[in-house]
Amino acid sequence: MMARYSAWSILQQGLTGNKGWQPAWAKPRVKKSYQAIIVGGGGHGLATAYYLAKNHGITDVAVLEKGWIGGGNAGRNTTIIRSNYMIEGNTGFYEKSLQLWESLSVELNFNLMFSQRGHLSLCFSPGQRDALARRYNIMRLNGIDAEWLDRDQLQKFVPLLDMQGQRRFPIIGGFLQRRAGTARHDAVNWGFARAASKLGVDIIENCEVTGFVKKRGRIVGVETNQGEIAAEKIGLAVAGSTSQLAGLAGLGRLPIETHKLQAFVSEPLKPLLDTVVVFGGAGHFYISQSDKGGMVFGGDLDGYNSYAQRGNLPIWQDVSSAAMSIMPALGRVRVLRQWAGIMDMSMDGSPFICKTDIGGLYLNAGWCYGGFKATPASGWCFAHTIAEDAPHELNRLLTLDRFAKGRPIDESGHGPWPKLH
């Protein structure tokens, strides 16, 4: 029986030498069969398992992870959470996710360090302002918070911004979503794992899916480095490895490409920036300050297909020069470490949560570089799709066949080229 975390338990453990803490989640041996298997122990896989147990009473579930949980993108992202989407199919879905984040720490009994510090998109030209005004007005029409900050308000809100010295990209204002923010990514993985484990889900690490077992055209199990495991239903939530797993399952080529995205973090600093700032349009750069004090920098994809979890120097330089152009005070900050993750870039920038053409196989993919914020709603909707064999209202449009039917959900309006999303 897993103990509840509380102020009382901290006090009690503190007074007794912290010797009574139990492992946060169980480490059972893998069984020969399950009702449902989720492949991929990132945030989406763990959230799916949790909601299968909690919302649908399906507890005979295993999450199979080839490495350690949260070792993929779920533990490598820049942790930005927002719901500033404007296209039907995305708007309601991402807002549901933000609403779930708002009570998730309490629900999971795990401090996710969710911090609604706001998300600010800077504008550098009237054209960019008008395009974003359309997006943020549509958000307001959908009941999602959004506001415009003019130059004076902006300078007050983010003193670190260089509003005066800016010549090349003069900042003319910014759009703010105040309810947006950040969370601690590892805590999200651990929180979902712990809560799912408490409800009876088996979390199996170091278990790589290497093939699928088929019977009469239906998938009835998986082959793994820990043996064959049978299951009535199998959900894929493997992010950047989706094309590989889809190939093994016989799904054919999907409208997804694997690209890498990198980020880096500075040495810890005193509080300097208490919101998320995005510099889009002229370049691509986003920055926030972690609770440990590190400045967290992110930017564009590296620009070529790869499964390597490390980034290249040109993008690092690109991000640094964008940072210097709007926050020159960062010039003396030292970078502590840099890393990358592998992105499942869909051709319209929107995800897939759906059944596949193969019986027993379900797909959760196409998160591009924005899937962290989607974690709770993704798990919620994928669990519904697997349990009910039908989509939830919120993922009704997130299907694989939307390209064949001419209904892409092209949020950026850039067209079918992953680099542009």
Ligand X SMILES: Cc1cc2nc3c(=O)[nH]c(=O)nc-3n(C[C@H](O)[C@H](O)[C@H](O)COP(=O)(O)OP(=O)(O)OC[C@H]3O[C@@H](n4cnc5c(N)ncnc54)[C@H](O)[C@@H]3O)c2cc1C
Binding site for ligand X (CB under 6 A): 39-45, 64-67, 71-74, 76-80, 208-209, 237-241, 245, 261-263, 298, 341, 367, 369-373
Nearest distance in Å: CB 342, ligand X: 7
Nearest distance in Å: CB 346, ligand X: 11
Whether the Cβ atoms of residue 123 and residue 129 lie closer than 8 Å to each other: yes
Nearest distance in Å: CB 41, ligand X: 5
Nearest distance in Å: CB 269, ligand X: 20
Distance of CA 90 to the CA centre of its chain: 14
Backbone angles phi, psi at 113, to 5 degrees: 55, 40
Residue 389 CB partners (closer than 8 Å, separation 6+): 355
* Nearest CB to ligand X, comparing residues 66 and 184: 66
Nearest distance in Å: CB 84, ligand X: 12
Nearest distance in Å: CB 80, ligand X: 3
* Nearest CB to ligand X, comparing residues 43 and 173: 43
Residue 176 CB partners (closer than 8 Å, separation 6+): 118, 119, 120, 121, 146, 147, 148, 149, 157, 275
Backbone angles phi, psi at 380, to 5 degrees: -60, -50
Kindly report the number of other CB atoms within 10 A of residue 142's CB atom.
Answer: 15
* Nearest CB to ligand X, comparing residues 9 and 412: 412
Nearest distance in Å: CB 268, ligand X: 19
* Nearest CB to ligand X, comparing residues 129 and 233: 233
Radius of gyration of the chain (CA): 22
The string of DSSP letters for 228-295 reads EEEEEEEEE--GGGHHHHHHHHT----SEEEEEEEEEEE---SS---SEEEE-SSS-EEEEE-TTSPE
User: Could you tell me where the beta strands, DSSP code E, fall in 167-226?
Assistant: 173-177, 181-182, 202-204, 209-215, 218-224
Nearest distance in Å: CB 267, ligand X: 19
Residue 253 CB partners (closer than 8 Å, separation 6+): 243, 246
* Nearest CB to ligand X, comparing residues 162 and 274: 274
CA–CA distance, 415 with 408 (Å, rounded to integer): 9
Whether the Cβ atoms of residue 263 and residue 297 lie closer than 8 Å to each other: yes
* Nearest CB to ligand X, comparing residues 239 and 358: 239
Residue 292 CB partners (closer than 8 Å, separation 6+): 268
* Nearest CB to ligand X, comparing residues 129 and 219: 219
- DSSP structural state of residue 31: P
* Nearest CB to ligand X, comparing residues 39 and 108: 39
